[in-house]
Amino acid sequence: MSRKDEGLCADLYTRITERIVAELEKGVRPWVQPWSATNATGRITRPLRHNGEPYTGMNVLLLWSEGIVRGFVSPIWMTFKQANELGAHVRKGESAATVIYASRFTKTETDGRGDEVEREVPFLKAYSVFNVAQIEGLPEHYHHRPMPVLDPVARIAAADRFFANTRAVIRHGGGQAFYSPSTDHIQMPAFETFRDAASYVAVLGHETVHWTAPTERVGRDLSRYSKDRSERAREELVAEIGSALLCADLGIAPELEPRPDHAAYIGSWLTVLANDKRAIFSAAAHAQRAVSFLHGLQPQSGAGRDAA
């Protein structure tokens, strides 16, 4: 990667992090914003590519935020070229939203002993997309009405099956929800103590993302969770974003009001993001891996998704 590319990458990390920080400073958690927005008249979904494939990871947050700010109802986005290939065109004067592509390439180097070694180098690339509301001439099916909210009973039943298929040990009792690494179980307050069934499912989603951490699942290190405030904040950021992705996939509203123990993390998140411009990208990637793992535990799952 050239120095110019490295500079562009650093600038992209900074610009996106600053946007997330600005929203957090206003008390807004970007990953739950779609559900609290007044223009969300239909079912909340992940943003979708032109072919119906869901976006993943950081791109979900970016496009949710962009859609809210601009008042777009449709979840579908595409590039300028993709619109042209469909015989359509982006209206003159429309501005694009930024999405990212993260990957790695292998670079051969010479080490101190003169031997050639291969090193993986991560890179980040930005490209522009437009919402279908900004495009004229698209086939009619791109302008479908927002998906209706699913029947509440069917929605909760589907979520119950989803978590049962993970085979996570879930115990009930007490007044707190948490995941215990030492006993590898999720502790939940009694179902009756929640405002409604959706609230119970949303909290369970958060704790189940924590449950994915052990090495035999996705492998996030929780050894310093109880000792290091920064590490705890990073893991809670992963669980928060992962829970929002799960909620979108299951048709469940997330915890719109953060629990008292989680509300305190906003200050910690701001500190982490100020010190590490890549932290939000890392959290979103870890969250996506966790959610992909949980989808992979479902019978005949076709929902496995890699981090964007």
**One-character DSSP codes across 67-83:** HHHHT----BEE-HHHH
CA separation, residue 304 to residues 53, 147, 282, 293 (Å): 12, 22, 19, 7
Is residue 124 included in any domain, yes or no?
Answer: yes
For residue 175, give the nearest of 196, 201, 151, 203 by alpha carbon: 203
Predicted confidence (pLDDT) per residue in 52-105, tens digit? 999 999 999 999 999 988 989 899 999 999 999 999 999 999 999 999 987 666
Query: Is residue 138 located within the same domain as residue 194?
Result: no
Query: Is residue 138 located within the same domain as residue 195?
Result: no
**Is the pLDDT higher at 47 or at 258?**
47
pLDDT at position 12:
80
Predicted confidence (pLDDT) per residue in 112-168, tens digit? 777 777 776 666 788 899 999 999 999 988 876 556 556 778 888 999 999 999 999
Query: Is residue 204 located within the same domain as residue 255?
Result: yes
Q: Among residues 116, 143, 170, which one ends one of the domains?
A: 143
The pLDDT of residue 302 is above 80 = no
Is residue 271 included in any domain, yes or no?
Answer: yes
Cα three-residue angle 163-166-168, rounded to 5 degrees: 90
* Neighbour count for residue 195 (Cβ, 10 Å): 8
Predicted confidence (pLDDT) per residue in 214-233, tens digit? 999 999 999 999 899 999 99
Cα three-residue angle 52-287-239, rounded to 5 degrees: 125
The pLDDT of residue 305 is above 70 = no
pLDDT at position 13:
84
State whether the Cα torsion 185-186-187-191 is positive or negative.
negative
Is residue 65 included in any domain, yes or no?
Answer: yes
Is residue 108 included in any domain, yes or no?
Answer: yes
Query: Is residue 284 located within the same domain as residue 198?
Result: yes
Query: Is residue 129 located within the same domain as residue 192?
Result: no
For residues 135 and 89, the answer to whether their CB atoms sit within 8 Å is: yes
Is residue 210 included in any domain, yes or no?
Answer: yes
pLDDT at position 44:
81
Query: Is residue 156 located within the same domain as residue 274?
Result: yes
Query: Is residue 136 located within the same domain as residue 158?
Result: no
Domain housing 111: 3-143
Is residue 304 included in any domain, yes or no?
Answer: no
The total domain count for the chain is: 2
Query: Is residue 199 located within the same domain as residue 219?
Result: yes
Query: Is residue 8 located within the same domain as residue 73?
Result: yes
pLDDT at position 105:
64
pTM: 0.85
Query: Is residue 82 located within the same domain as residue 177?
Result: no
For residues 55 and 63, the answer to whether their CB atoms sit within 8 Å is: yes
Predicted confidence (pLDDT) per residue in 242-279, tens digit? 999 999 999 888 877 777 776 778 889 999 999 998 89
The pLDDT of residue 1 is above 80 = no
Q: What is the tally of helices (H) and strands (E) in the chain?
A: 10, 8
Rounded CA separation 154/98 (Å): 36
pLDDT at position 188:
97
Mean pLDDT of the chain: 86
Query: Is residue 198 located within the same domain as residue 66?
Result: no
H or E element, residue 131? strand 116-131
pLDDT at position 182:
95
pLDDT at position 116:
75
Q: Among residues 143, 160, 194, which one ends one of the domains?
A: 143
Q: Among residues 86, 110, 143, which one ends one of the domains?
A: 143
Is residue 303 included in any domain, yes or no?
Answer: no
Is residue 302 included in any domain, yes or no?
Answer: no
The tokens 């010479």 sit on which residue?
110
For residue 240, give the nearest of 212, 268, 203 by alpha carbon: 203
Query: Is residue 182 located within the same domain as residue 78?
Result: no
